[in-house]
Chain A
Amino acid sequence: MSDLNETVAAVQAVDISSGLASEGVSSFLAGIYSNGLLGVGLFILLLAGGVLLHRLNMDRTYRNVAATTRDGEVSPEDLREEMFTRQGSNFNAAAVVAWMLLFAAFAYFYFLTPEIFPGHNYYQMPTLSSGPLGFAAFGLFVLLLAGLAAAFIPRELYGYYELSRKTKVAIMLTVPVLALSIALSVQQGTIFPEVDPATRGLAFLALFGSEVALLFPVYAEARGGMR
């Protein structure tokens, strides 16, 4: 009997501790996603980190190649040309779409409702946002801006790395994940001023998970290089 009691108590303790842990994670997540400056800063930091590491990766590769070259110097441009690898049309198209959707999902998450940035959001343009095609107009506007950057980022980030099949799949899977993030953000807009923390948290995870996945090859190469 005492064994049974101990077992029950142990199970309850595990339940309580796991509940507390999940609650702590939820509140931590809510603290991040409801903090607009923190979220925007994190998003930009990840991007900037990716760009910086990519540059370091390229420099390191160039130094390694230059050190092993006996008959003369290799220019960085020649090396870039030699290193460039075509990743396939489907992947490239998916990567461009993913990057465009990444920026769109970011805009939908932080700038759709007045909840996070009350003075800077889509509803500051009431004529647009009062119409039935307001969401689409907002998204198209962001895509137009992001399209310029998204057109070149995949070529630069993925053309100089060896991408495994799993990595490619992960990158391509960010398209539906980001679409989900956008849909969840729109859902948040439709219920505003109410807030659904679960939906909000999921949209946040989908957004930042996708960003990490899209930058993963750079970070992975940098990690390998450091080793």
Chain B
Amino acid sequence: MKRGFIAIFLLIFYLMGSVQGAEGPGGPSGSTGGGSSGGSAGASTTTSSGGKKIVKLELEDLIGNMEKWKQSDPEKFDYLKKLLYIPFVPPKDYSTPTALIWYPNSTEKAEITRNEKLDIYAWVKNENPIEVRSDVYLYLEAKGPGDENFTRVGSQRVILANEYVGSSNSTTRDWSGLTPFVDSREVGNATFRIWFNDMHSTYLTDTMYDKPYRQGDFFNILELSLVNSPPLVVGESIKVEPARARYNDPIRYSAGFVDTDGDMVNVTLHVLDDQGGILRNLTQEVKSGTNVTFSATEYGLFGEADAGRNFSYRFSYDDGLDGNATGVYPGPSLLPSPKIFVSDPHVEAADENRYWWQSYRFSLRVKNPEVDNLRIDLYTSTPSHPKRYQATREINASEEAQVVIFDLQPFDVSDADESFSYYFKYSATDQNSKEEMGGTSDGKINPKIVRYPIYSMVTIGNLLVVLLAALAGGIVIERRLYR
């Protein structure tokens, strides 16, 4: 600033001399205001006083002349600049301020992540007397892994001459909450330095000192290690719902991802066809700790032609630095289009006693207009025999509804006094997109366990067999061992 005022003052002084010289013949060429009289805005004003002409130079006029000279005679203009330039010479006893990086708790925080907010300070000491001090302008500069040059991070900080505190003549400026490497694609060394200018010279803290400086949490150059933790998938959160659905049902893939560094996670869903080939890849970016959801309807994943096919999927995920992939999960299984119409599952015991040894009549009404050799299996379930296969019937296509009947003895003695359920399983998809239909018994199976009364030939025969066997055994043993 001082230099600017001095230059303007000298220029005015010089121009005044030129103007005075213009009174004679042949004034300096290019002077626009030299011979004008009477004031008008933007021009020199000439007045007479005591026989002398006094020219008052307007600032606008001066600037206009300077611009004109610069264009018309650049060599002389440069010469003029040399004449007017007076280099600043600091006082003899001026000492350069000391600037260091202050990074509190540097030992614990030597490793940083991309999303970690850094609090870095500039500590500046200026031992010059206040009248000698000049303003100091500072920038924090950082060089991340893989970077060739430092770049400025954060905004400029300024220390005025009167802002140094106490007897230490030092002060600090902070850059809080910095995340200079948030977009870094590498891990490794992260280096910080301070650029500063004290109105006399520009300095870089990594080069201005003879040797590296580190004392406690104060550094001339701060070197940290940028590290990264790969994102993780929450295993149990991986699912596709519903796992069995029609092709146009709202099928949703979802999974939860966590990145301990708080990085955003790029998640790609790979939809695999029934041969394991990749059908589609869909990508979303999610925050750590949240679930990503891909809606099949939104992306138009499945069409009518996919009905009846079994798909699978897997996720791959990364945070820009490290990535991983899940295993292959089955689903969804798309239900085939309905082929048959079933109704009225029914069971009836041979009589109201409902003994376990009786025949039971199971029936199902089936309308099967197009499937030949439609296979229908009957299963019963009791506590002793869960999901017990009983029999199979096959029917051919017919325009008329058919009643499929199973007349059989499905139980044994261990099922006595138990309730039971039953279901028909068929080899085509019904109107409910299912392949089975069933029901439960109205009541329990009779608790009676023996089919034959005491007076029946079967029971008597059993008793006789036992008694005769004992008798025969006794005779044989007596003959063999007692004689």
Contacts and interface: CB of A to CB of B under 8 A. Distances in A.
B454 A187 contact: yes
Interface in A3-55: none
Interface in B435-483: 447-454, 458-459, 461-463, 465-467, 469-471, 473-475, 477-478, 481-483
Interface size on A, as a range, is: 35 or more
A104 B454 CA distance: 18
Contacts of B447: 192-193
A136 B465 contact: yes
Contact of A190 (B412, B450, B466, B474): B450
Interface of B is mostly: helix
Contacts of A94: 474
B435 to A, nearest CB: 30
Interface of A is mostly: helix
Interface string B201-239: 000000000000000000000000000000000000000
Interface in A174-227: 179, 182-183, 186-187, 189-193
B449 A192 contact: yes
Nearest to B414: A126
Interface string A112-140: 01100000000110110110111110011
Contacts of B452: 132, 190
B461 A113 contact: no
Contacts of B478: 89, 92-93, 96
Given A130-B413, A186-B462, A193-B417, A151 B449 contact: no
B384 interface: yes
A189 B453 CA distance: 9
B63 to A, nearest CB: 114
Contacts of A97: 470-471, 473-475
Contacts of A92: 478, 482
B482 to A, nearest CB: 5
Contact of B477 (A101, A151, A183): A151
A131 B453 CA distance: 14
B181 interface: no
Contacts of B360: none
Contact of A192 (B356, B415, B450, B465): B450
Nearest to A97: B474
Nearest to B480: A151
A182 B458 contact: no
Interface of A: 89, 92-98, 100-101, 104, 113-114, 123-124, 126-127, 129-130, 132-136, 139-140, 143, 147, 150-152, 155, 179, 182-183, 186-187, 189-193
23 contacts: A96-B474, A96-B478, A100-B470, A100-B473, A101-B470, A104-B466, A123-B414, A126-B415, A127-B412, A130-B356, A135-B466, A136-B462, A136-B463, A136-B466, A140-B465, A140-B466, A140-B469, A147-B477, A150-B477, A152-B481, A179-B463, A182-B466, A190-B452
